[in-house]
């Protein structure tokens, strides 16, 4: 990426803008236990980054939830949406970072969340207008760590992937953005931090989005991926 910085910025949603892993975890765990399935200790980490198609199939096949994957996905989304409508767990600095960066660059969301959840979060946070593009991994072939959702976000922005900067929190997300050719800023998930190898793929590691400013984006965007 040249010293002039990126031409587009792509945000992950879960773990970056909203503190949501525990919400999804609880919704999936409750559904599993209430339907007679078997929750596994590694289920949360294994489902991180999966598209809704992938994690609902995982719950059906690996956690023995006796529902069709499509029904599982709908049931979990209903539970997550109900929690968000009561209280949206925005992370510190999320709205401010989105607003400040949107004044300089076109923004996109590239998320593993279902389309209704993405739309609901941005609506409740009153930042939907800040994003030119939003993409759910259920709309592409593969979930993270495959690069599909990031490549689609860049395509819809009309910006080459190597001219985009991605903001990610998880190992699968960092690997997905890096595989798409994007420069990555990592804001590590506190509950499920990225492994050191994945974290090394990030050009910059922040403690929170409160550190994410246009000046930092220009600085990181001028660094080499090599």
Over residues 104-152, the pLDDT tens digits come to 999 999 999 999 999 999 999 999 999 999 999 999 989 899 999 999 9
- For the chain, report the end-to-end CA distance as a whole number of angstroms: 10
- CB-side exposure of 147: number of CA atoms within 13 Å? 15
CATH 3.40.50.1000 in the chain is located at: 8-19+89-221
How far apart, in Å, are the Cα atoms of 22 and each of 45, 148, 165, 212? Answer: 11, 25, 27, 24
Q: Quick check: pTM over 0.85?
A: yes
Active site annotation includes 14: yes
Active site residue 162: no
Identify the active-site residue in 12, 25, 148, 178. Answer: 12
Q: In this structure, what token pair is assigned to residue 37? A: 């399935």
User: At residue 196, does pLDDT exceed 80?
Assistant: yes
| Local confidence band at 225 (pLDDT 50, 70, 90 cut-offs) | low
CB 115 within 8 A of CB 136: yes
64: left (phi over 0), alpha (psi -120 to 50) or beta: left
Query: Is 21-86 assigned to CATH 1.10.150?
Result: yes
Q: What is the pLDDT of residues 39-69, one digit of tens each?
A: 998 998 889 878 888 999 999 999 999 999 9
Query: 96, 100, 39, 93: which is closest to 65 by C-alpha?
Result: 39
| In the predicted structure, residue 224 carries a pLDDT above the cut 90 | no
Q: How confident is the model at residue 190 (pLDDT cuts 50, 70, 90)?
A: confident
CATH class of the region 8-19+89-221: alpha beta
Query: Where are the CATH 1.10.150 domain residues in the chain?
Result: 21-86
């Amino acid at each position: 990426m040249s010293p002039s910085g990126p031409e587009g910025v792509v945000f992950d949603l879960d773990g970056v803008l909203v503190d949501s892993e525990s919400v999804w975890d609880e919704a999936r765990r409750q559904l599993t236990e209430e339907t007679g399935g078997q929750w596994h200790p590694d289920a949360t980490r294994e489902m991180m980054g999966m598209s809704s198609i992938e994690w609902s199939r995982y719950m059906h096949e690996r956690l023995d939830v006796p529902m069709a994957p499509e029904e599982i996905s709908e049931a979990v989304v209903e539970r997550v949406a109900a929690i968000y409508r009561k209280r949206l767990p925005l992370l510190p600095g999320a709205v401010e970072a989105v607003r400040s960066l949107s004044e300089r660059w076109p923004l996109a969301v590239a998320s593993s969340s279902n389309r209704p959840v993405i739309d609901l979060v941005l609506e409740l946070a009153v930042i939907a207008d800040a994003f030119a593009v939003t993409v759910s991994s259920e709309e592409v072939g593969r979930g993270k760590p495959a690069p599909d959702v990031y490549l689609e976000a860049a395509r819809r922005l009309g910006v080459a992937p190597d001219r985009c900067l991605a903001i990610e929190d998880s190992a699968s997300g960092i690997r997905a953005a890096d595989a798409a050719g994007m420069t990555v800023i990592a804001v590590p998930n506190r509950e499920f931090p990225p492994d050191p190898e994945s974290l090394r793929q990030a050009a910059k590691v922040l403690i929170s989005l409160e550190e994410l400013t246009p000046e930092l984006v220009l600085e990181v965007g001028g660094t080499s991926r090599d």
